[in-house]
Amino acid sequence: MSDHAPRHDVTREQAEEAVRTLLRWAGEDPAREGLLDTPKRVVKAYGDWFSGYADDPAEYLKRTFKEVEGYDEMVVLRDIEFESHCEHHMAPIIGRAHVGYMPTNRVVGISKLARVVEGYARRFQVQEKLTAQIAQCINETLKPRGVAVVIEASHECMTTRGVHKRGVSMVTSQMLGSFREDPRTRAEFLQFIGIQRTC
C-alpha cells in the first residue's frame, strides 16, 4: 500500500458503527428517526474531507508546459481557499494558502498548485506540517529556484471549544531556495500576496 492509499482495513459498516458509538456517548439514541441516516452521511462526508489520503499531490505537477520555457520570473497563486481538519481535535481548519515559485525551465498549469494544496489539506493536519508539505512537494517535483508558501487559517478547535477565541488566525510560512536566501525575492512575494515586509 502506498503512503497515499486510503486505509481500507476499516469497513464502511465499522465506520458507521463508530459514529453510532459517538452519538450514544454524546447522550443520543442513534435509533431515533432523525439520526438513522446520520452514520451513513458522516462516513460519506469523511470520504470527501479526507480524500487527500488517496491523492499523490506530486502527480499533479508532472505535466509541465514547454511553450513557456524561458519564463523565469516569479509565479504566484494567492488566496487559495481550503478546508482541512486538525489532527488534535478533528475540528475544521478554514484558511487560505498563497503559493509562489521561481521556475527554472518547468512551468505547471496554475490550477495544479491549488490541487497540491487540496491534496494535503484533505487530511488530518497541523498547519505547520501542511505548509511544509506543500512547499516540499513543489520543490522536489518541479526543482524550481525557490518556493514560498504562506498559510493563514482559523482553527475551530480554538473558536468553538477550548479557549473560545474568535477572529484569531494562525499564519505560517515556508520559504525555500531563493525565497529563503534573497530578501528582495521574499519581499516581492509578500508584496504580491498583500503581506507587508516587517524585517
Ligand X SMILES: Nc1nc2c(ncn2[C@@H]2O[C@H](COP(=O)(O)OP(=O)(O)OP(=O)(O)O)[C@@H](O)[C@H]2O)c(=O)[nH]1
The single residue among 22, 47, 63, 162 that binds ligand X, judged by CB under 6 A, is: 162
C-alpha cell at 78: 494567492
Instruction: Indicate whether 165 belongs to the interface with ligand X (CB under 6 A).
Output: no
- CA–CA distance, 160 with 136 (Å, rounded to integer): 32
Near ligand X by CB under 6 A, which window of 3-11, 133-141, 158-166, 185-193? 158-166
CA atoms within 13 A on the CB side of 77: 18
Strands 124-125 and 75-86: parallel
When asked if residue 166 is in the footprint of ligand X (CB under 6 A), the reply is no
Look up residue 91 and give its DSSP letter: -
Which is closer to ligand X, CB of 162 or CB of 183? 162
Q: Which residue's C-alpha cell is 502506498?
A: 2
Q: Contact with ligand X (CB under 6 A): which of 55, 121, 123, 127?
A: 127
- Phi and psi angles of residue 161, each rounded to the nearest 5 degrees, phi first: -150, 180
Q: Which stretch binds ligand X (CB under 6 A): 8-16, 122-130, 144-152, 184-192?
A: 122-130
User: Angle CA(66)–CA(61)–CA(87) in degrees, nearest 5?
Assistant: 165
Instruction: Pick one of 98, 112, 123, 155: the residue that binds ligand X (CB under 6 A).
Output: 155
- Give the residue numbers of the binding site: 86, 89, 157
Question: Using CB under 6 A as the criterion, which residues of the chain lie in contact with ligand X when the complex forms?
Answer: 86, 88, 126-128, 155, 157-158, 162-163
Instruction: Please list the active-site residues.
Output: 86-89, 127, 155, 157
